[in-house]
Structure formats: C-alpha cells, structure tokens
C-alpha cells in the first residue's frame, strides 16, 4: 500500500502492480490491471480500480501495416471535489493551465574558444586593459572577502598632514603649514584643512605642483648608537644630525627596494648633543608618539659618569627627585655601579620614565655632582646591543618592538 498525495496531479508508480508484457510494434494489446490505493485522509478500506490501457474492442478504421491499431490511454488518478479518488482518461485541468502559463527558458549562449594570441597581441591587449578605468577598479569579491580585506589589510583613510609626512614631503608640523598656505590640492581641489581624510591609493594629492606617490614607503624601525656631537633634529647645517648617519643606507635604497618611495626618517624622542647611546629612528609617526609621550611611562635607563666621589647622601638626594620644567620628577631607581679598572670615575645607573628634557642631568646636578658623560642603554625592555658601535644602526625586529611596548 502507498499513500496518495493531496495534489490532484500526483501519480506514483508504486500505486500500480503491473505484470510485464511484450509490446509489439504493430499493435498494442489491451491490458487490464487492478490498482489498490490507500487514502491518506481516511481510515477506510483501500480503493480498487480496474484500469484499461486501451479499449476492449479494436478500432477498425485505424490500421498500421495491415494490423489493427488500438489507441493507448493513460490513466489519471485525481481527487474529485467530493474528496474521493477517481480515474479519468484526460489530464487534470490544473495541469493543463499550468502548462499553458509556463514560460520557456532562454537558450544558453554558445561559448566559442578564443584563438591563442601572439606575444605582441597579448602585450597590446594587456596594456589596453590595464589602462582602462574598469581594470583599475577593485575586483568584484564576496561580501565576506571585502569585509576581511577592509578590516585586516586595507588601511583606513588618514589625515592629510600625516599622509604628507609619511610620503616624505616634510615633518608633520611643516606639512600642516604647507596645507594652510594653500600649496596642497586633493583631486584637483585646493585643501586647507590638515584633518581632511584622504586615501593616497585613490586620491590624487599634489604639493607645489608635484604629485606624491600613491604607494607610501614601508615603515622601518632602527636602533642607533648615537655618538657625541650629533643632534636629533634637522637643526642648522653646521651641526650634524643623527639622520645623516643613514646617508649610506638611503643612497642604496633604490637598489634594495626598486619602485618603492624612500622613507622620511626621524628620531623617537631626543638626546641632547652631549648624550650618547640608544635612540630609535623610524618613519612611523604613531610609533614615535606612543614611545615618546610621557603617558606611556616607558622606563629609560642611563649610565651617568660623574666627577668626584659619590656618597650615600648623593644617592638619597637623587632618589628624592627635583623640579624639571615645572614638574616634580622622581627617578624609578638610583644605583652606584662598581668601579672598573679602565674607568676611574664613579658611575650611576639611573632609571626614569618621565622623559623630560635634561631630566637625568638635572637630577645629578641637584645632588651637587657634575656629569662627565651620559649614555642611554635601555628603552623599555630593549637594551642597546653590546656589539653595536658608535654611529652604527640595526633594524629592529617585531619582538624587539614589542619589548618597547609597541603592538603593530
């Protein structure tokens, strides 16, 4: 037994028990079968039908090759208006209406294989495609792929002054002055607001008629062992800047990075002209702001070589702190280092976190001592490498940047 669906045009082969019989190409013999159906809406006895696939008597007018031809009837089992199943020889009206209202599908377009192009034709085609506006647009990707690209890869629009500084035009402050002076245009429109958000990859930015590159230089980070007599700003021409120590590195930039703009380097924080030791050089403004700002409370360790003998009262006075730039600065720790045979003068290890100008010198001076030399040896968790000579620099790794408290 099998259940009959409620649709009036449903028909299942499992409803029929048909014995196999040969069909002759000349005639269709009459075959009668008994069909047992079970209604899904009633619990009564199964309904039986006697179904004939051809009339019981042959039609004399229809012949095929001298033999009698009998018309083949297809039974349609439907449910009538009274809810009972019945057999009829004509298709249901609903099926006929559905076939009449059905629309045909458009035929599929035939795809023709392209003939292989020659090298010259392929080159000209690629040139024309790359120069077209459609090829310069972003490829059509799924929403998930675009969301992942925007959140993890694509950089958001940045301030105009920051983009100019990153492109090596000038410092952030000088870039703002250029914008205020009306020397910067964005997409052909004069822009006098440094806070304007721009995308260097999409927007056309000109400074004094010169277009800045769409591709910004990569971010670089260096640890420099600053020698005495160098300043940390551009300054005057007669005074050497620590950036001049990177002249050889910058001159070979194009060979090592063809097609990539040169970075504009600057120091993170400052060391005075007489102080030596560790200083970080980069072109990442966010990184420099994070490390140099007093709110970061990043510890910095100095070795101060002083003239004269150091007593306990000197250490107590230094540890109590002093006023620097109108702010009471107290060091994190003060320690008298053991004497060495090759260094006759006393040395103090002083750790501070304020980063005020001349802070360590003011602490030592307030204790009645004179600083002979001052060297910075540590920033955060990164210590100046012992094999890094004066005036030499080394590129910082991600682990070393994290030691300074930076998360890129």
Quote the pLDDT of residue 87: 79
When pLDDT is cut at 50, 70 and 90, the band that residue 112 belongs to is low
Q: What percent of the chain has pLDDT over 90?
A: 33
State both tokens at 38: 């079970």
Check whether 20 has a pLDDT greater than 50. Answer: no
Quote the pLDDT of residue 111: 60
Quote the pLDDT of residue 80: 77
Task: Write the pLDDT tens digit of every residue in 224-240.
Answer: 999 999 998 765 555 78
Quote the pLDDT of residue 154: 64
- The fourth-level CATH superfamily of domain 158-211 is RNA-binding S4 domain (3.10.290.10)
Domain ranges of the chain: 13-98, 158-211, 221-403
Task: Write the pLDDT tens digit of every residue in 245-277.
Answer: 999 999 999 898 888 888 889 898 889 999 999
pTM for the whole thing?
A: 0.58
Quote the pLDDT of residue 375: 96
Greater confidence, 350 or 24?
Answer: 350
Q: Whole-angstrom Cα distance, residue 243 to residue 178?
A: 23
Is the distance from CB of 292 to CB of 355 less than 8 angstroms?
yes
Quote the pLDDT of residue 277: 96
pLDDT, mean of residues 160-188 = 87
Greater confidence, 277 or 25?
Answer: 277
Quote the pLDDT of residue 351: 95
Active site residues: 272
Check whether 217 has a pLDDT greater than 50. Answer: yes
**135-170 burial by CB neighbour count: b if 16+ within 10 A, else e?**
eeeeeeeeeeeeeeeeeeeeeeebbbbbbbbbbbbb
State both tokens at 400: 């070393």
State both tokens at 49: 């039908």
Quote the pLDDT of residue 315: 93
- The fourth-level CATH superfamily of domain 221-403 is Pseudouridine synthase (3.30.2350.10)
Hey, do 158-211 and 221-403 end up sharing a CATH topology, with the first three levels equal? no
Quote the pLDDT of residue 201: 82
Check whether 134 has a pLDDT greater than 50. Answer: no
Q: Roughly what angle, to the nearest 10 degrees, separates helices 312-320 and 359-366?
A: 130
Check whether 383 has a pLDDT greater than 90. Answer: yes
pLDDT, mean of residues 51-71 = 49
Greater confidence, 403 or 6?
Answer: 403
pLDDT, mean of residues 369-375 = 94
Out of 91-100, 128-137, 249-258, 272-281, least confident range? 128-137
| Alpha-carbon torsion angle 51, 52, 56, 59, nearest 10 | 150
C-alpha 356 chain-centroid distance: 38
């Amino acid at each position: 037994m099998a259940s009959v669906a409620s649709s009036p045009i449903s028909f299942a082969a499992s409803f029929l028990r048909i014995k196999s019989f040969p069909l002759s190409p000349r005639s269709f013999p009459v075959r009668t079968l008994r069909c047992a159906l079970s209604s899904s809406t009633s619990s009564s006895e199964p309904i039986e039908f006697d179904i004939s696939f051809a009339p019981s008597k042959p039609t004399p007018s229809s012949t095929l090759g001298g033999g009698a031809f009998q018309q083949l009837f297809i039974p349609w089992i439907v449910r009538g208006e009274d809810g009972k199943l019945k057999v009829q020889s004509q298709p249901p009206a609903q099926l006929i209406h559905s076939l009449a209202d059905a629309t045909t599908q458009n035929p599929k377009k035939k795809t023709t294989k392209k003939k292989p192009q020659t090298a010259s034709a392929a080159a000209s085609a690629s040139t024309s495609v790359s120069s077209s506006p459609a090829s310069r647009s972003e490829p059509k990707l799924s929403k998930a792929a675009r969301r992942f690209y925007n959140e993890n890869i694509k950089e958001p629009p940045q301030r105009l002054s920051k983009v100019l500084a990153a492109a090596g035009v000038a410092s952030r402050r000088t870039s703002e002055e250029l914008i205020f002076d009306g020397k910067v245009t964005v997409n052909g429109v004069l822009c006098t607001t440094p806070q304007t958000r721009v995308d260097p990859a999409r927007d056309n930015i000109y400074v004094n008629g010169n277009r800045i590159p769409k591709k910004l230089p990569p971010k670089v980070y260096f640890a420099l062992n600053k020698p005495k007599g160098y300043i940390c700003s551009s300054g005057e021409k007669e005074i050497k800047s620590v950036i001049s120590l990177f002249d050889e590195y910058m001159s070979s930039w194009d060979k090592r990075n063809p097609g990539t703009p040169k970075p504009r380097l600057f120091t993170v924080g400052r060391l005075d002209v007489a102080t030596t030791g560790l200083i970080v050089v980069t072109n990442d403004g966010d990184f420099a702001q994070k490390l140099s700002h007093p709110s970061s409370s990043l510890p910095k360790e100095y070795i101060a070589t002083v003239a004269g003998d150091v007593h306990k009262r000197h250490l107590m006075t230094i540890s109590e702190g002093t006023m620097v730039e109108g702010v009471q600065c107290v060091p994190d720790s003060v320690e008298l280092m053991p004497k060495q045979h090759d260094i006759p003068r006393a040395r103090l290890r002083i750790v501070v976190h304020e980063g005020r100008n001349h802070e360590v010198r003011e602490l030592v001076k307030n204790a009645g001592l004179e600083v002979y030399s001052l060297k910075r040896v540590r920033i955060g968790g990164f210590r100046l490498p012992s094999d890094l000579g004066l005036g030499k620099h080394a590129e910082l790794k991600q682990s070393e940047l994290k030691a300074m408290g930076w998360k890129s």
